[in-house]
């Protein structure tokens, strides 16, 4: 049992993490501005809050958090608050970058007055998106691969650059404050309630609506998808690992890699739809392949992902179909 703070706690991974921590007996505080929930408590958030171990604090973390009532001691802080969603990287790049930087700076300033046992910052495999252009990306990708962004003019880098800056801030804040700090780079986590601006839910929604012809962007690209339950368990194991201080750790499922066109075929077939597929070309700065090397995660925690894509889609498709 411990005291846990989760920023972005009403979001996709954040709420699943809150449920996991509460179920094992932790006292959990969620901080969120409900941006992805359109300012509302949905049924899943309401359900988690019905227990007596979870407290919800609505706050705009882009502003100073001096008035956010946090306890004087927290055993662990999981910092997930951010704007995410591939389409948003292109649609609102300034807002994405600004928000992600400000929420991290505001949190770290607020934590200056609190005793912290551990800090875990959740980042993304998107930080490697510029490496491919420079010939630096190797597959499977381990944590030693350099992070590089050729130029700041590409809108897609709005998310990756802001998350990478957050990694730097958190790691060096932790070093300065003598707080054990870890960075997790998630690789294509999916599942129910993640919103519709990601490839798996987008395909489900479009297929269930009967879209035909069915346009696929970057059909030759491949991804290795990780179901949310696996990602949450791995996150907690990293957060509890004494040897993970100042470490960057990949969380993902390296056991299966699938081309986007094959993913579209799989989703549409599962929904009983057989559209004509049309290739729409690759989006700018989207990597050709993404598959993590998770050997460091295994070495530190012994964790191995268990939920394969076929099973994960069984849990995910009903949530998005016919929406």
Distance CA 203, CA 263 (A): 9
Distance CA 11, CA 81 (A): 8
pTM beyond 0.85: yes
Give which of 5, 8, 120 is closest to 58, Cα–Cα: 8
CATH fold group of domain 3-191+228-253+293-306? Rossmann fold (3.40.50)
> Which residues are registered as beta bridge partners of 277?
214
Those residues with Cβ within 8 angstroms of residue 254's Cβ, 6 or more apart along the chain or in another chain: 140, 224, 291, 292, 293, 294, 305
- Token pair 């925690």: residue: 301
- From first to last of the 323 residues of the chain, give the pLDDT tens digit: 699 999 999 999 999 999 999 999 999 999 999 976 655 678 999 999 998 999 999 999 999 999 999 999 999 999 999 998 777 888 999 999 999 999 999 999 999 999 999 999 999 999 998 898 888 999 999 999 999 999 999 998 999 999 999 999 999 999 999 999 999 999 999 999 998 888 999 999 999 999 999 999 999 999 999 999 999 999 999 999 999 999 999 999 999 999 999 999 999 999 999 999 999 998 777 889 999 999 999 999 999 999 999 999 999 999 999 77
Distance CA 313, CA 167 (A): 31
Domain chopping of the chain, boundaries:
3-191+228-253+293-306
Whole-angstrom CA distances from 306 to 96, 126, 319 are 32, 23, 21
Distance CA 116, CA 111 (A): 8
Distance CA 146, CA 130 (A): 10
Distance CA 318, CA 316 (A): 6
């Amino acid at each position: 049992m411990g005291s846990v703070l989760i920023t972005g706690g009403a979001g996709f991974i954040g709420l699943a993490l809150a449920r996991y921590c509460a179920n094992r007996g932790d006292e959990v505080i969620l901080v969120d501005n409900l941006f992805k929930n359109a300012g509302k408590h949905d049924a899943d958030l309401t359900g988690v809050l019905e227990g007596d171990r979870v407290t919800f604090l609505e706050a705009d973390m882009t502003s100073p958090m001096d008035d956010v009532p946090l306890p004087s001691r927290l055993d662990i802080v999981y910092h997930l608050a951010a704007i995410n969603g591939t389409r948003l990287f292109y649609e609102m790049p300034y807002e994405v970058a600004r928000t992600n930087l400000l929420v991290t700076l505001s949190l770290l300033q607020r934590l200056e007055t609190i005793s912290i046992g551990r800090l875990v910052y959740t980042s993304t495999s998107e930080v490697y998106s510029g490496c491919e252009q420079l010939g630096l990306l190797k597959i499977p990708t381990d944590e030693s691969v350099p992070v590089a962004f050729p130029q700041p003019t590409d809108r897609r880098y709005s998310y990756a650059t802001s998350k990478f800056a957050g990694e730097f801030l958190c790691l060096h804040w932790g070093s300065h404050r003598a707080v054990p700090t870890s960075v997790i780079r998630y690789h294509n986590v999916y599942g129910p309630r993640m919103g519709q601006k990601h490839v798996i839910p987008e395909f489900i929604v479009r297929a269930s609506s009967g879209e035909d012809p069915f346009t696929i962007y970057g059909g030759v690209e491949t991804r290795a998808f990780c179901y949310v339950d696996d990602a949450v368990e791995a996150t907690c194991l990293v957060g509890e690992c004494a040897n993970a201080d100042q470490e960057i750790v990949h969380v993902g499922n390296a056991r299966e890699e699938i081309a986007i066109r094959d993913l579209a075929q799989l989703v549409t077939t599962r929904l009983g739809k057989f559209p004509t597929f049309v290739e729409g070309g690759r989006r700018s700065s989207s990597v050709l392949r993404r598959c993590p090397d998770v050997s460091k995660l295994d070495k530190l925690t012994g964790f191995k992902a268990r939920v394969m894509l076929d099973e994960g889609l069984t849990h995910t498709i009903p949530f998005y179909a016919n929406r």
